[in-house]
Structure 1
Amino acid sequence: MKWKKYTIQTTTQAEDFISSMMADLGIEGVQIEDNVPLSNQDKEKMYIDILPELPPDEGIAYVSFFLDAEKEQEALLAQVKDGLEELRLFVELGAGTITQSETEDQDWINNWKKYFKSFAIEDILIKPTWEQETDAGNYRCVIEIDPGTSFGTGKHETTRLCIQQILKFIQPGDRVLDVGCGSGILSVVSLKLGAGEVTGTDIDPLCITASRDNMNVNHLSEKTGRFYQGNLIEDDRLRETVGNGYDIVTANILADVVIPLTPVIPDCLKPGGIYITSGIIDFKEEEVTAAIEAAGLKVLEAIHLGEWVSITAKKE
């Protein structure tokens, strides 16, 4: 299906007013692009591991909406333009210009797939589900991943660092807790490397679905993996459900989430258990290290890849 995309150049002050006006006209769903820095509360709610670096906020915003390209839309567009002029009476609208382009459903759903190719981390081959398997015999195991709408192809530096540490510390039969499981890639890798069972948590319900789907894709028994939506930092009931006595806990999230998460981790680990963190930008390393030590865990090592850091600790 073809769509016409209309983009309004406006101000950050006006973007919510425009979105409301669109909803009143029956336009479902808008896309807002701006460079407004995220608050700490916003960061905690984000469903991706790594936040993009944004240019300076100059107060400019772009509000886009999509209309069926096969239908006549002149009357609705006229209503949008009238609505913009009404908004000018009480909010700074900026340019208020509308530009038009055309797209298709498949642009949104499938185009990104051409950038996700098979790759290896040590002797593990990670491949997208839509690629044919090649040279599988040369690898210890093959992991198939379809990230869907969740974060986690495994190719990002932070995930690579986590997988390297899992390879180093995992033992046959280990119980693994994957906090912020995303696509479930760390859970799948752990099971393929011999873990007895995994438990995953994420605040995004789509990540729970993706994790379960990737378990199935890799022919892993549902009995070996449990996945729960929720915030382990705040939800006492979730922590009770997840339980304790884990051999390994992984947290490939963000430094600003790892820091408040860390105090609850010792209760999840058994004595001698390993805590593997990642998603840590290098200038946050000392802050995360301090949080880990304050929680009573012993830092074993910090490894780096590019500007990213993974810190591994132990419950003594």
Structure 2
Amino acid sequence: MSFDNAYEALADAHDDSRWAFGTGFSDPLSGVDTSVPSGVDGADLAAYCLMLGDDALIFSHRLQQWCTHAPELEDEVAIANIGLDLLGQARLLLARAGKADGTDRGEDHFAFLRDEHEFRNVRLAELERGDFGQLIAVLLVYSTWRLALFQALTASQDPVLAAIADKGVKELTYHRDYAAWWAVRLGDGTAFSHERMRAGLAGIWPFVEELFAPHEIESRLARAGVAADPAAARAEFDSVLEQVLQAATLRRPETAGRAGVAGRTGRGGRHTEAMGYLLAELQSVARAHPEATW
């Protein structure tokens, strides 16, 4: 059988002309017991999974924007793989949210059909793409913080969340080490690279305190042994950053950001101007073709 173009051949093999729009992935939690542990509020667990899932989803999208923009081919691959790791974490966490709240909404609903104020990611993850120095600064801070959280989450009373965290720890360890290697290479390199790394850290530092300000839902679930208390991750974060910055001949920025309160941070649905543009790109095709198979 002949076809006028490659798309027709691909679509014909899938019995659905909309096939090329979507991923064709099955439920990432298929076959897993997703019942909510006794004594745990399902709505709280779902909200917490959205927080962690949105962090990964939004930062993953930012990282994919670096394709064809990295300084070396090896880094094109590394950054793309880090983005894919985070996308995998997002899929699991968003799917867990839909199971925990009893609605059975899938990952695509949460990723594509929510408005900006419904996203609960920390604002660090959404910052507009800057230069390579800023990328490394964000990746170093983000992965060091998230690794500390996920290490604590491996002991979560929710077995699903604990399993997601256990897998994520291995990925995030690489993400942190990759960012630390580049931070040292830039900081302890030429005068120009040192300045770009210094400026990258200074530019994103106002968003660091927010990472350690517990949302009320995080606090409730932490007391129940389900969530990780972000404030408890501060000691490890500071220790790692001190080692990396010392090796990179850099100083911790003196500008201190405001932690804010839940309603005034990303966890409370308040975002930077960059978030709206990011979502417009992320959700455009899904909203233009709402009946497509994803």
| TM-score, normalisation: structure 2 | 0.29
Task: Give the strand-richer structure, 1 or 2.
Answer: 1
Give the number of the structure with larger relative contact order, counting CA–CA contacts within 8 Å between residues 6 or more apart: 2
